[in-house]
Amino acid sequence: MALVALEMEKVNSLILERLQSEVSLIPELARHLIAAGGKRIRPVLTLIAARLCGYEGDRHISLAACVEFIHTATLLHDDVVDESDLRRGRSTANAVWGNKAPVLVGDFLFSRAFTLMVADGSLRVLEILSNASAVIAEGEVAQLVTTNDTSTTESAYLHMIECKTAALFEAAAQVGAVLAGRPMADEQALATYGRSVGVAFQLVDDALDYSAGQAELGKTIGDDFREGKITLPILLAFARGDEEERQFWRRCLEDLDQRDHDLEHAIRLLDKHRALEDTIVRAEGYVADARAALAGFADSRAKAALTDLADFAVHRAF
Amino acid sequence: MALVALEMEKVNSLILERLQSEVSLIPELARHLIAAGGKRIRPVLTLIAARLCGYEGDRHISLAACVEFIHTATLLHDDVVDESDLRRGRSTANAVWGNKAPVLVGDFLFSRAFTLMVADGSLRVLEILSNASAVIAEGEVAQLVTTNDTSTTESAYLHMIECKTAALFEAAAQVGAVLAGRPMADEQALATYGRSVGVAFQLVDDALDYSAGQAELGKTIGDDFREGKITLPILLAFARGDEEERQFWRRCLEDLDQRDHDLEHAIRLLDKHRALEDTIVRAEGYVADARAALAGFADSRAKAALTDLADFAVHRAF
């Protein structure tokens, strides 16, 4: 990420500038999330993809900010949904401000993202990012429907995370090629790269929520479990378990009837069936897809950075 | 509205078509609101404004649908915020589906609105509607901040409703002139018309929430009161009341400490200070502004329809 550190600083400045509003709660609340210093992996994707494609202007700065605004809006709305207590190790916006403000500030950020895109003036970019936004919303609703349903199929789950997570990674990378005016084949290659990294990223996130290593680092684990969220580790353990184990999963995740030590028991079952390891193996498959998608690009520092970023999606925190 | 009945049917068909999603909860939930058959006053504004400006194409159909999508998304998010039990006489989406789904389906509708605009291809339209969306979100957050604060000034209140309500009326009307390629003066005139109608509409809404006539029609009243929402009728009664009355308003609206018969007492105080009547007088002032804004347009059936629509904003239900 050092490759785009200077550009990322410009993105950060633009984000803070465009958060301004005469309604002071807006920058206050949004800064809470944005200053929490997430990995900014999505805007970085746009910056490096643009570099890979030989783009030399500065439109990628504002489009990277758009991508982060859309992501932050999604986080704010997702917090309302998830009732998770911690995100990035800090209290979520809605634990501090209630449910109301985060929804509306999310709407503001989302609108600001579109205002920035309109100022940029590319209908192609607007098309890619507005489609991505609709797909993300569909994925989030689909997740709502599959939550608490242990009969969710693996393919339904993978399709859902392609929508709710990978669509924005895909759009973020694809925009780089659009900016540089590269042919459709390059756009598609970067879209595939982004989508694959996004799926890998989400699979690893789902595994980390049950990871003993995370617990040792002082991070909260078990959020997904407490909400009854059905993720790949659960689907694998459920499929490989006996009837008694399935009863356990149904009680905890469908009925949300959870008792002391249920999370520990869940982690033991995931371990017994190698569900976390196999989820990571699946993620590694997507990383391989991501690398393969870059094959048509000549070697460069940008290409190496994208390869590193794909690896990071899987190997962070393991 | 008979003037654009045929076009409005096309808008309705397009809305239902663009609600489609493989995630069935989306059309299900959105249809609940859209089929509830609101007045569709905002898309009608776009249709008649386009007609007034001599527009003869069919782009106004999809842009009217955009406007209604943005409005519906706002309603869904506002319901999360308001905890109001009834809207348009039916149970709100979140009374039926909880808080989660309406937020996400609202995001979907909002994204769909932008997808439709992008397909239309006018950056000017995108600029107007994305700005309006950001202003609406700012107004909603500002409302959150003024709720429960009886020291809100009249001007702060009016600015807030210009943002949260009038901005979309303004954009909806302005888009008509943009479609017809009319000069900036006409765009501005329709923008002023729309904004004025929007403010009048909201003022009347705020008065209707305490109207005995509404109660007789079987509609719920007192929603704003129960939430501690500070509206113009309250500000007028508060300013004109004695210290004992102010204590009453503070207890009910700031502390939200409400008892049996408090709503009845509030209505008596509003009556005593002619607060509802004077709110309507204020609204009539905005209707006069709306009429004046149309002065530059030659007489036509469309102009007459816009004048009627402005009157309707005030005289519905009185």
Are A166 and A278 in a shared domain?
yes
Mean pLDDT, all residues of chain A: 89
Helices (H) and strands (E) in chain B — how many of each?
Answer: 17, 2
Instruction: For residue A123, give the nearest of B26, B103, B118 by CB distance.
Output: B118
Mutation target vs B (from A94, A103, A160; most B CBs, 10 A cutoff): A103
Q: How high is the pLDDT of residue B47? A: 97
Q: pLDDT confidence of A136, banded at 50, 70, 90?
A: very high
Q: What is the DSSP letter of A256?
A: -
Are A26 and A80 in a shared domain?
yes
Are A202 and A296 in a shared domain?
yes
Are A86 and A148 in a shared domain?
no
Residue B91 in 3-state DSSP? strand
Q: How high is the pLDDT of residue A93? A: 56
Domain contains A317: no
Are A80 and A164 in a shared domain?
no
Tens of pLDDT, residue by residue over A147-157, are 788 888 999 99
Are A90 and A161 in a shared domain?
no
Domain contains A318: no
Which H, E and C letters describe A171-229, residue by residue? HHHHHHHHHCCCCHHHHHHHHHHHHHHHHHHHHHHHHHCCCHHHHHCCCCCCHHHHHCC
Whether A140 and B104 lie within 8 Å, measured CB to CB: yes
Are A112 and A147 in a shared domain?
no
Tens of pLDDT, residue by residue over B91-119, are 455 555 667 788 888 999 999 999 999 99
Q: Distance, in angstroms, between A227 CA and closest chain B CA?
A: 13
Q: Assess whether pLDDT exceeds 50 at residue B218.
A: yes
How many Å apart are CA B77 and CA A11, to the nearest integer? 29
Handedness of CA B4, B10, B12, B15 (dihedral sign): negative
Residues of B in contact with A22 (CB under 8 A): 138
Tens of pLDDT, residue by residue over A174-208, are 999 999 999 999 999 999 999 999 999 999 999 99
- Domain residues for the domain of B278 are 2-315
Number of domains chain B is built from: 1
Instruction: For residue B104, give the nearest of A25, A105, A137 by CB distance.
Output: A137
Q: How high is the pLDDT of residue A282? A: 96
Q: Which residues of A touch B (CB under 8 A)?
A: 21-23, 25-26, 73-74, 77, 80-81, 99-101, 103-105, 107-108, 110-112, 114-115, 117-119, 121, 123, 126-127, 130-131, 133-134, 136-138, 140-142, 144-145
Domain contains A14: yes
Q: How high is the pLDDT of residue A278? A: 96
Residue B46 · residue B60 · CB < 8 Å: yes
Domain contains A313: no
Which of A121, A151, A182 finishes a domain? A121
Tens of pLDDT, residue by residue over B10-33, are 998 999 888 888 888 888 877 776
Of the two residues A126 and A215, the one the predictor is more confident about is A126
Tens of pLDDT, residue by residue over A96-105, are 566 778 888 8
Q: pLDDT confidence of A23, banded at 50, 70, 90?
A: confident
Are A152 and A257 in a shared domain?
yes
Q: Assess whether pLDDT exceeds 60 at residue B162.
A: yes
Domain contains A185: yes
Q: How high is the pLDDT of residue A90? A: 41
Residue A169 · residue A201 · CB < 8 Å: yes
Find the DSSP H helices in A209-274.
Answer: 212-216, 223-227, 232-240, 243-249, 262-272
Q: How high is the pLDDT of residue A88? A: 37
For residue B298, with 0-12 CB atoms within 10 Å meaning exposed, 13-18 middle and 19 or more buried, which class applies?
Answer: exposed
Of the two residues B19 and B195, the one the predictor is more confident about is B195
How many Å apart are CA B271 and CA B260, to the nearest integer? 19
Residue B270 in 3-state DSSP? helix
Residue A257 in 3-state DSSP? coil
Domain contains A290: yes
pLDDT-above-90 percentage for chain B: 68
Residue A64 · residue A188 · CB < 8 Å: no
Q: Which residue of A has its CA nearest to B123?
A: A118
Instruction: For residue B104, give the nearest of A26, A104, A144 by CB distance.
Output: A144
> A77, A124, A71: which is closest to A100 by C-alpha?
A77
Q: Which residues of B touch A (CB under 8 A)?
A: 21-23, 25-26, 73-74, 77, 80-81, 99-101, 103-105, 107-108, 110-112, 114-115, 117-119, 121, 123, 126-127, 130-131, 133-134, 136-138, 140-142, 144-145
Tens of pLDDT, residue by residue over A33-78, are 666 666 789 999 999 999 999 999 999 999 999 999 999 999 888 8
Q: Distance, in angstroms, between B195 CA and closest chain A CA?
A: 19
Q: Assess whether pLDDT exceeds 60 at residue B81.
A: no
> A91, A195, A95, A211: which is closest to A139 by C-alpha?
A195
How many Å apart are CA A288 and CA B175, to the nearest integer? 48
How many Å apart are CA B141 and CA A236, to the nearest integer? 43
Are A295 and A178 in a shared domain?
yes
Tens of pLDDT, residue by residue over B176-191, are 999 999 999 999 999 9
Lowest mean pLDDT among A230-239, A300-309, B31-40: B31-40
Are A181 and A64 in a shared domain?
no
Are A154 and A106 in a shared domain?
no
Amino acid letter, residue A214? Q
Supply the CATH number for residue A184's domain: 1.10.600.10
Are A287 and A151 in a shared domain?
yes
> On the CB side of A269, how many CA atoms lie within 13 Å of its CA?
24
